[in-house]
């Protein structure tokens, strides 16, 4: 490819809205252009890298025995009503109506469609197991699209779905996908970890997230040197200290606390530390019977919505609105407490370490002192309900947990019969009985993987692509394009490289050398071959690795063989 013909515009300035390095560099290197909030065009160079990731994914999915399909982006509401998700999926689901008044949505994920497809084809156990995947455009109306293609509204996902006759089969499908994902992200040149993730109703360790380690990551990962790793949403707090003796606690006391709402304000008012206070949060869930629940955690801890959700057996748990807080507490937010509240109260186990504590009084401008669970109010249940913190003991080995940031690039999940039950996707087993299919689902954000690779591979001059996903592997840069000899030698090296299958970007632009070097660095091409008239007189060209290392002189006759070997050794 000749640079002069490449459809690209590189920029010297970062776009104002870009918060993370990958977004800045993808924009500046001309890999993407924005169309609307969270909606992007991929430019030729960006698309080349994206396709390479897709191909690595394809190869590994095929190797694992999955088959590629392509499902529609537009999905009929009926399927979502059948699964029950039409009502609770919320605003991320973009819904619309056609000219006949029928409801549709843009697919944010494809469990409904694939289950419908499989139920229409599969009749007998002989047709199972089957694993189907696609690489396709999703739409999620994200509340805060940001970081470029990392969290966009329209994005490309690889999603796969496995269908097995029983649990053991589904677990084997899961294992195969976990292995395939490890291969995929390794081949993309990423530093990543597979961590345990919240698996909701399924429970057990049948949900893993693949996290690319990066400061800019939106997820927090709890890890231990023993090998344990989990999303902090999931990481269990198993050791929470000794139980305090409440038998000598003083009687509870109602204290007027005008405008004292936050933990900091409460601590300043009572002159105590956050660890001596109970924080009461109201959660709204879709649990039947008691959709509002209160959760008490220590003032220096944070309540974990995923744990709350699982405890009450709901699909989601989110902080209640001001109105719901008033319904539960009869007070404005800031004064909720376990004593006299109108909804069930769950306590985090760390609170067992306090013999008595301060908490809101469920009336405006008041708190209680010296509260004791069981004596002053009833507790619906004690459980692990908080986020793990750095320094907490590892649930496996007891050593200190560390917390790092990560970007979720992939997610594998055992679904069980959640969808096959709702959509009646069954098969006839060997004895002729109708049985529900056991499912799993497996996603990879393709654009997010691309952006994550940049988060891990850049320097002050631009992107430093891992070879397997670089848009081109080698850039040939003749300094004087008007010099015939330079161009002849440069083209010769190019054709030798192309012949051996190397992807070459040829910078034929009549620009200053400095400009061309800057663009080559910004675009991050792994190997640069520079042809200058001075070197030519000595019969040499210069070779430079983007990832660092000095520029080395090399004989003209040797450079093509060297470069193609260099690339081949680094290709996944």
Q: What is the maximal distance between C-alpha atoms in the chain?
A: 95
* Total chain residues near ligand ATP (CB under 6 A): 16
Judged by CB under 6 A, which stretch of 293-301, 409-417, 425-433, 485-493 contacts ligand ATP? 409-417
Q: Is residue 298 near ligand ATP by the rule CB under 6 A?
A: no
Minimum Å gap between C-beta 11 and ligand ATP is 23
Q: Is residue 140 near ligand ATP by the rule CB under 6 A?
A: yes
| Of 319, 288, 291, nearest in space to 306 by CA | 319
Q: Is residue 406 near ligand ATP by the rule CB under 6 A?
A: no
Q: Give the N- to C-terminal CA distance of the chain in Å, as an integer.
A: 22
Q: Is residue 157 near ligand ATP by the rule CB under 6 A?
A: yes
Near ligand ATP by CB under 6 A: residue from 306, 409, 490, 523: 409
Judged by CB under 6 A, which stretch of 16-24, 121-129, 260-268, 442-450 contacts ligand ATP? 442-450
Q: Is residue 231 near ligand ATP by the rule CB under 6 A?
A: no
Judged by CB under 6 A, which stretch of 147-155, 258-266, 414-422, 539-547 contacts ligand ATP? 147-155
The residue nearest ligand ATP at its CB is 445
Near ligand ATP by CB under 6 A: residue from 46, 445, 466, 478: 445
Closer by beta carbon to ligand ATP, 155 or else 335: 155
Reduce the DSSP state of residue 244 to 3 states and report it.
coil
Q: Is residue 234 near ligand ATP by the rule CB under 6 A?
A: no
Alpha-carbon distances, residue 544 vs 333, 464, 466, 541, 552 (angstroms): 61, 13, 15, 10, 6
Backbone region of residue 313 per phi and psi (left: phi > 0; alpha: psi in -120 to 50; beta: other values): left
Judged by CB under 6 A, which stretch of 112-120, 148-156, 239-247, 521-529 contacts ligand ATP? 148-156
Q: Is residue 206 near ligand ATP by the rule CB under 6 A?
A: no
Give the length of the chain.
572
Element at 61 (helix H, strand E): helix 44-63
**Please, which residues have CB within 8 angstroms of residue 75's CB and are 6 or more apart in sequence?**
104, 105, 106, 107, 110, 112, 113
Contact code string over 105-124 relative to ligand ATP, x by CB under 6 A:
----x---------------
**Please, which residues have CB within 8 angstroms of residue 411's CB and are 6 or more apart in sequence?**
197, 207, 208, 209, 210, 442, 443
Give start and end residues of each alpha helix (H) in 77-197.
Answer: 77-83, 85-88, 111-121, 167-187
Closer by beta carbon to ligand ATP, 40 or else 163: 40
CB atoms within 10 A of CB 141: 17
The rounded distance, in Å, linking the Cα atoms of 355 and 372 is: 7
Near ligand ATP by CB under 6 A: residue from 408, 455, 507, 521: 408
Minimum Å gap between C-beta 67 and ligand ATP is 20
The rounded distance, in Å, linking the Cα atoms of 327 and 293 is: 11
Q: Is residue 448 near ligand ATP by the rule CB under 6 A?
A: yes
Give yes or no for a contact between 57 and 446, defined as CB atoms under 8 angstroms apart: yes
Instruction: Tell me: cis bond preceding 362? Omega within 30 of 0 counts.
Output: no
- Give the distance from CA 329 to its chain's centroid: 36
Closer by beta carbon to ligand ATP, 16 or else 143: 143
Beta strands in 389-502 (DSSP E): 402-416, 426-428, 434-436, 438-445, 458-459, 462-463, 474-478
Q: Is residue 443 near ligand ATP by the rule CB under 6 A?
A: yes
Minimum Å gap between C-beta 447 and ligand ATP is 6
Judged by CB under 6 A, which stretch of 47-55, 152-160, 228-236, 543-551 contacts ligand ATP? 152-160
Closer by beta carbon to ligand ATP, 141 or else 236: 141
Near ligand ATP by CB under 6 A: residue from 125, 133, 139, 155: 155
Minimum Å gap between C-beta 439 and ligand ATP is 15
Near ligand ATP by CB under 6 A: residue from 152, 231, 280, 362: 152
Closer by beta carbon to ligand ATP, 68 or else 538: 68
Judged by CB under 6 A, which stretch of 72-80, 445-453, 471-479, 528-536 contacts ligand ATP? 445-453
The rounded distance, in Å, linking the Cα atoms of 211 and 276 is: 35
Minimum Å gap between C-beta 408 and ligand ATP is 5
Helices 44-63, 446-456: axis angle to 10 degrees equals: 110
Minimum Å gap between C-beta 401 and ligand ATP is 21
Minimum Å gap between C-beta 210 and ligand ATP is 7
Judged by CB under 6 A, which stretch of 149-157, 265-273, 314-322, 397-405 contacts ligand ATP? 149-157
Reduce the DSSP state of residue 76 to 3 states and report it.
strand
Residues 366-385 that bind ligand ATP (CB under 6 A): none
The rounded distance, in Å, linking the Cα atoms of 42 and 108 is: 20
Residues forming contacts to ligand ATP in the complex (CB under 6 A) are 109, 140, 142, 151-152, 155, 157, 408-411, 443-445, 447-448
């Amino acid at each position: 490819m000749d640079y002069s013909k490449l459809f690209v515009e590189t920029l010297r300035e970062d776009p104002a809205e870009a918060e993370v390095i990958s977004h800045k560099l993808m924009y500046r290197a001309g890999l993407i252009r924005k169309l609307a909030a969270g909606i992007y065009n991929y430019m030729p160079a960006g698309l080349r890298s994206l396709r390479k990731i897709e191909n690595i994914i394809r190869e590994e999915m095929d190797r694992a025995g999955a088959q590629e399909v392509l499902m529609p982006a537009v999905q009929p509401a009926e399927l979502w009503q059948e699964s029950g998700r039409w009502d609770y999926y919320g605003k991320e689901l973009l819904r619309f109506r056609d000219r006949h008044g029928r409801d549709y949505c843009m697919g944010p994920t494809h469990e409904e469609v694939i289950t419908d497809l499989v139920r229409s084809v599969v009749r007998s156990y002989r047709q199972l197991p089957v694993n189907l995947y696609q690489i396709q455009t999703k739409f999620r109306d994200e509340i805060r699209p940001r970081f470029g293609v990392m969290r966009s509204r329209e994005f490309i996902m690889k999603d796969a779905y496995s269908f097995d006759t029983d649990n053991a089969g589904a677990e084997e499908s899961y294992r195969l996908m976990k292995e395939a994902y490890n291969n995929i992200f390794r081949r993309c040149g990423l530093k990543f970890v597979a961590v345990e993730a919240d698996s909701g109703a399924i429970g057990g360790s049948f949900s893993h997230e693949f996290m690319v380690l990066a400061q800019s990551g939106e997820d927090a990962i709890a890890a231990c040197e023993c090998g344990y790793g989990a999303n902090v949403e999931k990481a269990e707090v198993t050791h929470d200290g000794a139980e305090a003796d409440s038998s000598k606690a003083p009687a509870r006391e109602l204290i007027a606390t005008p405008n004292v709402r936050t933990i900091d304000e409460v601590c300043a008012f009572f002159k105590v530390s956050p660890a001596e206070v109970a924080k009461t949060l109201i959660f709204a869930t879709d649990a039947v019977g008691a959709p509002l629940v209160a959760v008490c955690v220590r003032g220096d801890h944070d309540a974990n919505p995923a744990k709350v959700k699982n405890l009450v057996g709901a699909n989601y748990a989110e902080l209640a609105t001001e109105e719901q807080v008033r319904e539960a507490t009869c007070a404005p937010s800031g004064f909720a407490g376990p004593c006299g509240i109108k909804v069930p109260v769950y306590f985090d186990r760390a609170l067992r370490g306090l013999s008595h504590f301060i908490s809101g009084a469920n009336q405006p401008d008041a708190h209680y002192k010296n509260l004791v669970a069981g004596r002053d109010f009833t507790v619906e249940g004690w459980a692990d309900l908080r986020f793990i913190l750095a320094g907490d003991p590892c649930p496996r080995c007891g050593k200190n947990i560390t917390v790092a940031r990560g970007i979720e690039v992939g997610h594998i999940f055992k679904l069980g019969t959640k969808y096959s039950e709702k959509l009646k996707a069954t098969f006839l087993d060997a004895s002729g009985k109708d049985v529900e299919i056991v499912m799993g689902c497996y996603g990879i954000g393709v654009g997010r993987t691309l952006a994550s690779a940049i988060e891990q591979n850049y320097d002050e001059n631009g992107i430093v692509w891992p070879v397997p996903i670089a848009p081109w592997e080698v850039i040939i840069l003749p300094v004087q394009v008007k010099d015939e000899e330079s161009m002849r030698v440069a083209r010769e090296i190019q054709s030798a490289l192309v012949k051996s299958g190397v992807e070459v970007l040829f910078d034929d632009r009549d620009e200053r050398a400095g400009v061309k070097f800057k663009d080559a660095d910004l675009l991050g091409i792994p190997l640069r071959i520079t042809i200058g008239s001075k070197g030519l007189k000595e019969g040499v060209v210069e070779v430079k690795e983007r990832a660092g290392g000095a520029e080395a002189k090399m004989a003209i006759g040797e450079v093509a063989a060297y470069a193609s070997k260099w690339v081949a050794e680094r290709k996944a």
